[in-house]
Amino acid sequence: MLLKTSLRSFFAHKGRMLLSLIAVVLSVAFVSGTLVFSNTATSTFDKLFASTASDLSVRPAKPEFGDDRRAKALTVPVDSVTKVAAIPGVKTAIGQVSVQSATMADPATNKRVGPTSGAPTIVGNWADTPRNAVEITSGHAPQGADQVVIDADTAKKAKLAMGGRLRLITTDKHDFTIVGIATFKTTNPGAALAFLDTATAQTVLLGQSAYTSVEVFGDGSRSDEQLKSAALSGLGAGVEAKTAAEQKEENADSVGSFLDFMKYAMLGFAGISLLVGGFLIINTFSMLVAQRTREIGLLRAVGGSRKQVNRSVLVEALLLGTAGSTLGIGAGLGLAVGLIQLMNAVDMHLDAGDLKIGADVFIAGYAVGVVITVLAAWIPARRASRIAPIAALRDHGTPAEPRSNTVRAVIGLVLTVGGAGLLALAAKAEKMATGGQYIGLGVLFTLVGFVVLGPLLATTLVRVLGAALPALFGPSGKLAQRNAMRNPRRTGATAAALMIGLALVIGASVFTSTVIKSTNVQIDRSVGADYIISAGQNGVSPEIVDAVRKTSGIDHVTEQKYLPARFGAPDGKTSEEGVSAVSARFAEDFRLPVKEGSADSLKQGALAIGEDYAKDHGLKVGDSIKIDYGQGRVQSLPVGVIMTKGNSLFDGNTFASLEAVAKAVPAADLPVDAVLFGKAAAGVDVARTLNALEDALKEYPQATVRDQAGYKDLVQEQVNTLLYMIYGLLGLAIVVAVLGVVNTLALSVVERTREIGLLRAIGLSRRQLRRMIRLESVVIALFGAVLGTGLGLAWGVTGQRVLRTQGLEALSVPVATILFTLAASVAIGLLAALIPAFRAGRMNVLAAIATD
């Protein structure tokens, strides 16, 4: 009987359930789609690594500390191949050359060829191995000093074809003819590949007869571990060996961090949409229960128990959650395909036809959809079961609950005040870690506090926000204001969903705006150089440095190289740090934030260290630090400058002059420049010199040159990219919140059917009626926007105070974004009211009055 009643009620209100169903579908789709995408990407790369890894890879031992791509490629001797091949159990040993320091370009246009999203450009020798990642599908392998094979994805993207020319830029430029196209056997992880014959690869890429690794394939008579042990004992020191399993794990780790970041970020936003969707579902069931008060009273009067009434509502929620989860999992597959296409657009090639749908997708999807829906329905179900039968039969609505309002007010005030106190403590915290803990709890407490207080704030704020409506819109405006105030609990829950999304948007906007302003302030205050020249992860080659030096209008250039090193402080503690070795005139081009000492001491061979490092080790100006660069290259340098923390351009860096570092590390072993700075000569036109620099660097497509304004624009573009991604993900939460407003209004119209009929009967026109509903929606949306703006500003400002010691010293409140958000809230209110207002306007007056 209970199930029959629940089914009838569910299908009788299917229109009312639809929007709640959409909220569940969207939330589950985000969770299941993220898991399917993550599983598919992980499986794809696992297949690639498993199918291409050699049984054993013998390589040069890694540096003692650090692994800088800008350093020269490490190699093993040519005779290593012969030695490894002689080990019992080895079937084949192949010498491999592979570097990521070369740049590919199209000689016809001199434009860079290859990925721009961080994936590597790998150039090496063509070697037939039993497990090649690619196979030549067009043309043939390189057979001469001017021949190259490239991968099909790069050829297609760069519009290169057989017989065309490709330029490789290393320490020099080399042009080759494309004689083959190679296609990945499984998937392309996003890299651009080029292959030369072995002799050419050794000459062009290494400058010597050597290999970067020896790939070993066994005959099956010995395990990989046995081969590893034999190879290490036979080759001696200076090499390391990785078995197939170790190679797979190493490669998986290289892409795993990126995939995990995406996975957890998207699951975080899925959680936000679930929270917002929870409010929508609570609202839906609260209103449905209120509308069925008399029906519930009849069920109780004919013998139904409180437990049965409770179960009746929960069964409806279970049906809604199950249906929504099923549809959500299906929609999640579509989302996963979309994410795969997005990854393909940024050069990470995945196969959308090979989706991996594991049991975890269904478990998570149904757990999220069903559990959240049932929990959200439990509150109104419990409230419904407590209505006395006689009261329910007499009153078509739920009785007032003054005691619960008092409890709500106390709990809400405690949480809000406590959260505000935590935010204040976070803003005053001296340590970022402490401030971070306080702000995390403060955000949680203030959010929950505002949600709890929402219904109580609704009465006051809605009266204020709607104060002008009666004067501007007459009876429609007055009715809209009173309708929004009639059920504060419903208005508060509806607005809370919108409040959460907008609070996060405003908070993110304040943070990113502050990052941009703080960076600009630091550049203006600290950077005296006129131009910044970079060349990506591979660094600025000596040829680029020479080209910049020879450019007309340049007074001097400042080089900056990065060397991994181990520091030994006077207190006996050691730590892996790094040295930024700079030209002697560095202090002229940069105004160091000096706390103690003199910036000029860099020219005399002293170090510039950070305030935190000095504090941690009790250092002062004049103390010496032992610096170990590896390979027995050690020196001691005195501390000449202690830099004040809080400037992102210098924090975490230790500076020394190139002249001082060169006393320990031979010039031939120094890495290329990480970045180069140029200073215009006195009296020259800075803009004209920038054009001259751009012309001088046309032959080096890997290089980019920017003036200070261009560098600021670059920072803003990078921050905006992050911001737009956040906006896009938060958009889902806002869409669910809009659905909540639509649902509330739609159910409210049904609830007020008789009232609407009476209003029409006494002279309210259809236009006035629709206007009333639209204005009510706008007021509710504005209420949520005001609360969200207040929370977002509090969070953003506190975040800036917590990170003030990390470089975010200049607070920036994006007024335009806030005004746009408030205007958008009005638009959201109008949009959400379209369908409910249309339905209300079409009601038959007599039928509406006759509704019980």
DSSP track, 602-630: GGGT-EEEEHHHHHHHT--TT-EEEEE-S
Of 259-273, 742-756, 776-790, the range with the highest mean pLDDT is 776-790
How confident is the model over 264-280, as a mean pLDDT?
72
Confidence label for 398 from pLDDT (cuts 50, 70 and 90): very low
Higher pLDDT pick, 800 / 750: 800
3-state SS, 484-525, equals: HHHCHHHHHHHHHHHHHHHHHHHHHHHHHHHHHHHHHHHHHH
Confidence label for 539 from pLDDT (cuts 50, 70 and 90): confident
- CA 134 → CA 177, 186, 269, 393, distances in Å? 19, 8, 38, 76
pLDDT of residue 384: 66
Higher pLDDT pick, 403 / 330: 330
How confident is the model over 586-614, as a mean pLDDT?
91
Q: Name the least confident of 2-6, 372-376, 385-389.
A: 2-6
Asked if the model's pLDDT at residue 524 lies above 90, the reply is no
Of 59-68, 244-253, 747-756, the range with the highest mean pLDDT is 244-253
pLDDT of residue 399: 45
From CA 589, how far away is CA 586, in angstroms rounded? 5
How confident is the model over 497-503, as a mean pLDDT?
84
Q: Name the least confident of 81-95, 600-614, 729-743.
A: 729-743
Asked if the model's pLDDT at residue 74 lies above 60, the reply is yes
How confident is the model over 782-800, as a mean pLDDT?
92
Rounded to 5 degrees, φ, ψ at 673 are: -65, 140
* DSSP structure class, residue 55: S
Q: What is the pLDDT of residues 676-715, one digit of tens each?
A: 999 999 989 999 999 999 999 988 888 899 998 888 888 7
CB 740 within 8 A of CB 497: yes
pLDDT of residue 716: 81
Asked if the model's pLDDT at residue 141 lies above 90, the reply is yes
pLDDT of residue 242: 92
Two tokens at 4?
Answer: 């029959």
Confidence label for 660 from pLDDT (cuts 50, 70 and 90): very high
pLDDT of residue 160: 92
Rounded to 5 degrees, φ, ψ at 762 are: -95, 10
pLDDT of residue 337: 86
Per the prediction, the chain carries an average pLDDT of: 84
Number of neighbours of residue 349 by Cβ within 10 angstroms: 17
Asked if the model's pLDDT at residue 499 lies above 80, the reply is yes
Share of the chain above pLDDT 90, in %: 33
Asked if the model's pLDDT at residue 185 lies above 80, the reply is yes
pLDDT of residue 804: 84
Asked if the model's pLDDT at residue 394 lies above 60, the reply is no
Q: Name the least confident of 147-156, 514-523, 545-554.
A: 514-523
CA torsion angle for 91, 94, 100, 103 (degrees, to 10)? -140
Asked if the model's pLDDT at residue 69 lies above 60, the reply is no
Sheet holding 56-60, edge to edge: 90-96, 213-218, 56-60, 239-243
pLDDT of residue 397: 45
Helix (H) or strand (E) holding 123: strand 121-125
Two tokens at 751?
Answer: 């609830």
Residue indicated by tokens 């740090």: 577
Number of H helices, E strands in the chain: 26, 25
Distance from the Cα of residue 635 to its chain's centroid: 41
* DSSP structure class, residue 204: I
Share of the chain above pLDDT 70, in %: 88
CB 833 within 8 A of CB 781: no
pLDDT of residue 180: 96
Rounded to 5 degrees, φ, ψ at 664 are: -105, -35
Asked if the model's pLDDT at residue 606 lies above 90, the reply is yes
* DSSP structure class, residue 494: H
Amino acid, single-letter form, for residue 270: A
Asked if the model's pLDDT at residue 288 lies above 70, the reply is no
From CA 531, how far away is CA 545, in angstroms rounded? 13
From CA 603, how far away is CA 606, in angstroms rounded? 7
> Nearest Cα to 42, choosing from 189, 154, 191, 246?
189
Rounded to 5 degrees, φ, ψ at 537 are: -70, -20
Two tokens at 645?
Answer: 């923390």
172, HSE (Cβ side, Cα atoms, 13 Å): 7
Confidence label for 312 from pLDDT (cuts 50, 70 and 90): confident
Name every residue whose Cβ is closer than 8 Å to that of residue 521 and which is 6 or more positions away in sequence: 809, 810
Rounded to 5 degrees, φ, ψ at 573 are: -85, 140
How confident is the model over 323-333, as a mean pLDDT?
90
In terms of DSSP bridges, do strands 121-125 and 98-99 run parallel, antiparallel, or are they unpaired? Answer: antiparallel
Q: Helix H segments across 626-765? A: 658-661, 686-696, 708-751, 753-761
- CA 136 → CA 140, 168, 183, 185, 217, distances in Å? 7, 20, 6, 10, 21
In b/e form, how buried is each residue of 319-334, taking b as 16+ CB within 10 angstroms? Answer: bbbbbbbbbbbebbbe
Confidence label for 13 from pLDDT (cuts 50, 70 and 90): low
Amino acid, single-letter form, for residue 474: G
Asked if the model's pLDDT at residue 529 lies above 60, the reply is yes
Two tokens at 294?
Answer: 């008399």
Higher pLDDT pick, 194 / 491: 194
Residue indicated by tokens 């074809």: 161
Q: What is the pLDDT of residues 14-28, one digit of tens each?
A: 656 676 787 788 778
From CA 607, how far away is CA 590, in angstroms rounded? 15
- Which 3 state secondary structure label does DSSP give 416? helix
From CA 285, how far away is CA 521, in angstroms rounded? 52
From CA 494, how far away is CA 745, in angstroms rounded? 10
In terms of DSSP bridges, do strands 634-643 and 607-610 run parallel, antiparallel, or are they unpaired? Answer: parallel
What are the beta bridge partners of residue 607? 639
* DSSP structure class, residue 501: H
Two tokens at 158?
Answer: 């760069």
Confidence label for 847 from pLDDT (cuts 50, 70 and 90): confident
Two tokens at 377?
Answer: 């329905």
Q: Name the least confident of 90-99, 221-230, 294-303.
A: 294-303
pLDDT of residue 845: 82
